[in-house]
């Protein structure tokens, strides 16, 4: 048995990694520090860790979980429970938090798209749940605006449906038929040919479930409530983007009968389309706690902190002659995080934006930063507070070097 004393001895002899000010995580009453680990897997595996100045990209591992979330994951990791009970209880809690009828935690927003579509097709019909995506009868159809098509509609097509594109409200009315099972709205599409309210209204009138994919659309946190209030039957958000839950978790919520049907199509039920989208006990509780933390934190304070980071980077960049740097707040509704756009006169500062991006990636510490053909762009929302100064200093160094 690993006693507390033994654990402390182990920790004392372990190679020291990271800073002293580690977060205390409780597991079995033993305090572990989040910055004082015995093994460094980044080094062991020959990986590169970096300062994230780009945002919530899945390929960059999304976001970092808050201490409360990691504590919840640790707590659950040595306890058995009934997984269906855990799914139902966390779903009830989240439905309370989001003022809606029902919810279920999924394996990300893409998983929620598949499960929500499956629910709209099958309802509680066990034969259809078993047979999906190869159903008897005509191919089922999902309505989407032509300007809303996106890569994530593959998660909807997984259910064997055909996407029927529409270009206007009257076109949508005309194309709804007996095979139509759902209408999908891409919340962050650049162009809406049919607005949210009208879209919902057409669905209502024709008795077709409406589903809004708003995966990346907090902040503001109000968006978590808004689309249910507007009348969408289903809504999904990613759990592992700005909500900072487990990266492979997501939220599906809305109408109770559809959420029940989504659960029937989901793991742990074996013969279902969702069996490969397992959510484990740690993710259920971690996701629930992440949402609690997200809804209760001081968003104004966080926004001010983001603006401060932008200003730190902006001032460092402006210290180099020939550089322009501005604060940018994207229009949204997705990825509304303050950022700093930095551009320069390439006649005076002889380096391209892609070269600066590469130098920052190759530097120490490594920094992942975005940009366009003539600028670098720092999204400050996913970095740690103290990292803005490092990002600013590194940008300044690279631009100074190129202006010599």
Ligand X SMILES: *Cc1c(COP(=O)(O)O)cnc(C)c1O
| H or E element, residue 339 | strand 339-344
CB 115 within 8 A of CB 103: no
Q: Which residues from 367-396 bind ligand X, rule CB under 6 A? A: none
The CA distances from residue 322 to 147, 234, 299, 346, in Å, are 40, 50, 35, 9
Residue 152 engages ligand X in binding (rule: CB under 6 A): yes
CA atoms within 13 A on the CB side of 328: 19
Among 53, 73, 86, 109, binds ligand X (CB under 6 A): 109
Choices 105-113, 114-122, 221-229, 373-381; region in contact with ligand X by CB under 6 A? 105-113
Instruction: Select 110 or 115, whichever has its Cβ closest to ligand X.
Output: 110
Residue 213 engages ligand X in binding (rule: CB under 6 A): yes
Residue 145 engages ligand X in binding (rule: CB under 6 A): no
| Polymer length of the chain | 404
Contacts of 392 (CB under 8 A, 6+ apart): 312, 313, 314, 315, 316, 317
CB 148 within 8 A of CB 165: no
Nearest residue to the partner ligand X, using Cβ: 108
For the CB of residue 228, give the shortest distance to ligand X in the complex, in Å. 17
For the CB of residue 214, give the shortest distance to ligand X in the complex, in Å. 7
Instruction: Select 106 or 353, whichever has its Cβ closest to ligand X.
Output: 106
Choices 212-220, 339-347, 362-370, 373-381; region in contact with ligand X by CB under 6 A? 212-220
Residue 224 engages ligand X in binding (rule: CB under 6 A): no
For the CB of residue 238, give the shortest distance to ligand X in the complex, in Å. 3
Choices 213-221, 300-308, 322-330, 346-354; region in contact with ligand X by CB under 6 A? 213-221
Residue 238 engages ligand X in binding (rule: CB under 6 A): yes
Tell me how far apart the alpha carbons of residues 268 and 155 are, in angstroms, rounded to a whole number. Answer: 19
Residue 108 engages ligand X in binding (rule: CB under 6 A): yes
Residues that bind ligand X (rule: CB under 6 A) add up to a total of 12
- Residue 316: both structure tokens together: 């460092």
Tell me how far apart the alpha carbons of residues 287 and 346 are, in angstroms, rounded to a whole number. Answer: 46
Contacts of 93 (CB under 8 A, 6+ apart): 288
Residue 154: exposed, middle, or buried by beta-carbon count in 10 A (0-12, 13-18, 19+)?
A: exposed
Output the CA angle 83-23-283, nearest 5 degrees: 15
For the CB of residue 329, give the shortest distance to ligand X in the complex, in Å. 19
Residue 183 engages ligand X in binding (rule: CB under 6 A): no
Choices 82-90, 193-201, 209-217, 283-291; region in contact with ligand X by CB under 6 A? 209-217
For the CB of residue 139, give the shortest distance to ligand X in the complex, in Å. 23
Q: Which residues from 35-94 bind ligand X, rule CB under 6 A? A: 58
Instruction: Select 224 or 356, whichever has its Cβ closest to ligand X.
Output: 224
Choices 31-39, 138-146, 208-216, 283-291; region in contact with ligand X by CB under 6 A? 208-216
DSSP result, 104-144: EEESSHHHHHHHHHHHHHHTT-HHHHHHTTS-SSSPPEEEE
For the CB of residue 51, give the shortest distance to ligand X in the complex, in Å. 21
The residues binding ligand X (CB under 6 A) are: 58, 108-110, 152, 188, 213, 215-216, 238, 240, 250
């Amino acid at each position: 048995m690993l006693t507390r004393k033994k654990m402390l001895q182990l920790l004392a002899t372990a190679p020291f990694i990271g800073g002293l000010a580690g977060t205390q995580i409780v597991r079995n009453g033993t305090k572990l520090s989040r910055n004082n680990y015995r093994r460094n897997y980044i080094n062991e595996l020959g990986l590169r860790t970096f300062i994230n100045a780009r945002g919530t990209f899945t390929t960059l591992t999304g976001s970092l979980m808050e201490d409360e979330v990691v504590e919840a994951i640790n707590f659950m990791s040595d306890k058995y429970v009934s997984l269906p009970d855990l799914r139902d209880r966390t779903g009830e809690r989240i439905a309370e938090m989001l003022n809606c009828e029902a919810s279920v935690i999924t394996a990300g927003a893409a998983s929620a798209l598949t499960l929500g579509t499956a629910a709209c097709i099958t309802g509680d019909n066990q034969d259809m749940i078993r047979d999906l995506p190869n159903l008897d009868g005509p191919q089922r159809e999902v309505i989407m605006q032509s300007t809303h098509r996106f890569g994530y509609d593959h998660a909807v097509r997984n259910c064997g449906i055909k996407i029927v594109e529409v270009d206007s409200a009257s076109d949508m009315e005309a194309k709804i038929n007996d095979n139509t099972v759902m209408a999908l709205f891409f919340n962050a599409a650049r162009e809406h040919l049919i607005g949210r309210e009208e879209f919902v209204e057409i669905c209502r009138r024709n008795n077709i479930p409406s589903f809004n994919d708003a995966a990346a659309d907090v902040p503001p946190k109000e968006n978590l409530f808004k689309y249910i209030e507007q009348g969408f039957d289903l809504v999904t958000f990613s759990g592992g983007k700005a909500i900072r839950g487990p990266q492979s978790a997501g939220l599906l919520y809305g109408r109770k009968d559809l959420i029940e049907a989504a659960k029937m199509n989901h793991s742990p039920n074996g013969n279902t389309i969702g069996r490969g989208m397992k959510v484990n006990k740690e993710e259920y509780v971690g996701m629930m706690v992440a949402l609690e933390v997200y809804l209760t934190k001081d968003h104004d304070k966080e926004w001010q902190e983001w603006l401060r980071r932008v200003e730190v980077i902006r001032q460092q960049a402006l210290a180099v002659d020939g550089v322009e740097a501005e604060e940018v707040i994207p229009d949204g509704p997705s990825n509304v995080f303050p950022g700093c756009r930095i551009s320069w006169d390439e006649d005076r500062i002889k380096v391209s934006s892609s070269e600066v991006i590469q130098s920052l990636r190759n530097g120490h510490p490594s920094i992942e930063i975005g940009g366009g053909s003539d600028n670098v762009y720092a999204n400050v929302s996913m970095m740690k507070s103290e990292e803005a100064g490092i990002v600013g200093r590194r940008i300044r160094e690279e631009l100074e070097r190129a202006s010599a």
